[in-house]
Amino acid sequence: MSDRLNVLKTYKLYVGGKFPRSESGRVYEVTDAKKNWLANAPLSSRKDARDAVVAARKAFGGWAGATAYNRGQILYRVAEMLEGRRDQYVREVAEAEGLSKSKAGDQVDAAIDRWVWYAGWTDKIAQVVGGGNPVAGPFFNLSSPEPTGVVAVLAPQESSFLGLVSVVAPVIATGNTAVVVASEKSPLPALSLGEVLATSDLPGGVVNILSGRTAEIAAPLAAHQDVNAIDLAGADEALAKELEIAAADNLKRVLRPQPVDNWAATPGTDRMTAFLETKTVWHPTGSLGASGSAY
């Protein structure tokens, strides 16, 4: 029962492993379900989006080139760090979405378990979607999945944390890097996620988190020639169509918005395969020698 004044958090973007303000210097008010002021969040501009893409591209070579085992270790570390801060996120999610502590707790627990789910996929997805192909000739033929590159992710508008984690983790598990646009009305849990990512040995730039008006930042991302794919989960129908048209300019891989009743349900593999390319390599097996082989 203290009269102590608490220290309010200044919410920043998470780009390139650092926590900058928006280059525009703008912020916008974020309120809880009862319209009480929670914080001012950065109102990102297209230049922030541009810088985030640069950071994501820079991080891609190292992240895609890391072993699957190493990526799995890091994603598991994210789960460890998040578990340690469970109370913080329960409070943030409860405030952001107007949930009871108990319901918010379920969301955060599911989010932690979601990181563990994807941590266990990094070194298995290739075995499930790749394989040798028995071509009709003396060739060794192998199909392997590879990450597509930089993925723009519009996080779900309603599920500000579990939904966010459910769209971000599958993108990076396979080696892609991400530019994430947080829920417009509930961006704070997403911005706080940056704190966990920054302390999990995740290389800077693998995940970049922007807050602001979804339509404003999504447009330059959808049109950006150095973005390889876009997840439209956080776009409404009209915006989604606009963005898909813009994405066609460099033939981005587009994941259209799908209604999700229950983000806690066990996901399949489609959020990973949506951002994987399949590379098929041929190599002649030759024969053993001129005499021909009897074996």
Residue among 47 and 283 whose Cβ is closer to other proteins: 283
Q: How far apart are CA 59 and CA 17, in angstroms?
A: 10
3-state secondary structure at position 144: strand
Report the DSSP pairing between strands 150-154 and 253-255: unpaired
Residue among 27 and 68 whose Cβ is closer to other proteins: 68
Residue among 6 and 266 whose Cβ is closer to other proteins: 266
Q: How far apart are CA 73 and CA 207, in angstroms?
A: 16
Number of Cβ within 10 Å of residue 24's Cβ equals 14
Measured in whole angstroms, the distance separating CA 34 from the mean position of its chain's CA atoms is: 29
What are 273's two structure tokens? 């395969």
Question: 157 near 281, Cβ under 8 Å?
Answer: no
Got the DSSP string for 129-150? H-EE---SSSEEEEEEEEE-SE
To the nearest whole angstrom, how small is the minimum distance from the Cβ of residue 152 to other proteins?
27
Residue among 77 and 224 whose Cβ is closer to other proteins: 77
To the nearest whole angstrom, how small is the minimum distance from the Cβ of residue 201 to other proteins?
13
Q: Provide the binding-site residues for other proteins, judged by CB under 8 A.
A: 68-69, 72-73, 76, 113, 116-117, 119-124, 127-128, 140, 266, 269, 283-289, 291, 293, 295
What is the Cα Rg of the chain in Å? 21
To the nearest whole angstrom, how small is the minimum distance from the Cβ of residue 154 to other proteins?
27
Q: Which residues contact 80 (CB under 8 A, 6 or more apart)?
A: 200
To the nearest whole angstrom, how small is the minimum distance from the Cβ of residue 85 to other proteins?
18
To the nearest whole angstrom, how small is the minimum distance from the Cβ of residue 119 to other proteins?
7
To the nearest whole angstrom, how small is the minimum distance from the Cβ of residue 131 to other proteins?
10
Residue among 25 and 132 whose Cβ is closer to other proteins: 132
3-state secondary structure at position 125: helix
Amino acid in the structure at residue 226: D
What are 92's two structure tokens? 């943030």
Residue among 79 and 233 whose Cβ is closer to other proteins: 79
